[in-house]
Amino acid sequence: MTTALWTPARLPLLTEKRFVITGSNAGLGYWAAEFLARRGASVVIAARNEQKATSAIASILTRAPLADVSWVKLDLANLASIERAATELSAQPIDVLVNNAGVLGASKRGFTSDGFELMFGTNVLGHFALTARLMPTLLATENSRVVSLGSISHEMNEMDLADVMSDQNYGSFRAYSRSKLGVMLIAFELDRRLRAAGLSTESLVAHPGFSLDGLSAARPGITNGSRSNVLVRAALGTFAQGKDAGALPTVRAAADPVARGGEYWGPAGWRQLKGSPTVVRAKNRSRDIHSASTLWSMAETMTGVPLSF
Asked if 97 and 138 touch (Cβ cutoff 8 Å), the reply is: yes
List beta partners, residue 203.
146
Active site residues: 176
Residue 193: name the closest of 292, 68, 117, 84 by CA.
292
Contact partners, residue 55, CB within 8 Å, separation at least 6: 25, 221, 222
Whole-angstrom distance, CA of residue 111 vs CA of residue 132: 22
The torsion region of residue 148 among left (phi > 0), alpha (psi -120 to 50) and beta comes to beta
Task: Annotate 175-203 with DSSP letters as a single string.
Answer: HHHHHHHHHHHHHHHHHHHHHHTT-S-EE
